[in-house]
Amino acid sequence: MASKTSTWNTKADLVPLEKDKAKELRARISKIKQAEVLRPGAVFVGHIPHGFFEPQVKRFFSQFGTVSRVRLARSKKTGGPKGYGYIEFECEEVAKVVAETMNNYLMFEKLLKCEFIPTERLHPKTFRGSNRKFLKPTRRSTAIRKHNKPKDAAATLQSAMRLVSKNLGRKRKYAALGLNYDFSGYDDMAKKAKLQAASIV
């Protein structure tokens, strides 16, 4: 068995299966008759070792048949993998054999959990974005997404009251300097937010 490492290179040697497991798997797959029109099949894979990303997963499972798509679950905030994902094989029968044979397979101190997912149970967006290279979200993109996220009535009211409070502090500061500062825009915003929150309650 290959030694454990923190990351894998797509050009590195293929992670080998144990001899007995490889023999069993290839024997079963060789019995599958390839139909003229192949029906794809998906496999859920859990407990994926850290550092085993999309290219490595596709390369590893391509030992058993043609892998059409791979999508690993990742954190929207950090981009880090969550340790599970989905693999689509070109042939449904191959997917079934892989799921059954590779379930509870020990890989880098992790027991893989594999389950065949019937097409009718597969969410239409399961493989959305699987053909695009994953780009880790930057702090700027995360901040923009958070800022543009639609706010509910309570959040809108809280934001408006915060602006009103800052505006009052600004008025006091200018008054101490003998300057006349009068801006009621935030007050109007707070009133609208209060009415909106009250209508929901």
Model pLDDT, residue 15? 58
**pLDDT digits 0-9 by tens, 133-192:** 777 777 777 777 777 777 777 777 788 788 888 888 888 888 888 888 777 777 777 777
Two structure tokens written together for 163: 């602006």
The SS3 of residue 42 is strand
**Using CA atoms, how far apart are residues 187 and 165, in angstroms rounded to an integer?**
10
The closest of 152, 157, 148 to 189, measured between CA atoms, is 157
Domain 19-135, CATH number (from 2.130.10.10, 3.40.190.10, 3.40.47.10, 3.30.70.330): 3.30.70.330
pLDDT band at 12 (very low <50, low <70, confident <90, very high): very low
Helices (H), the chain: 19-30, 54-61, 92-102, 139-148, 153-176, 185-200
The SS3 of residue 126 is coil
Model pLDDT, residue 185? 73
Render 54-81 in DSSP notation, one character per residue.
HHHHHHHHTTTS-EEEEEEEE-TTT--E
For the entire predicted model, the pTM comes to: 0.59
The closest of 135, 124, 150, 140 to 53, measured between CA atoms, is 135
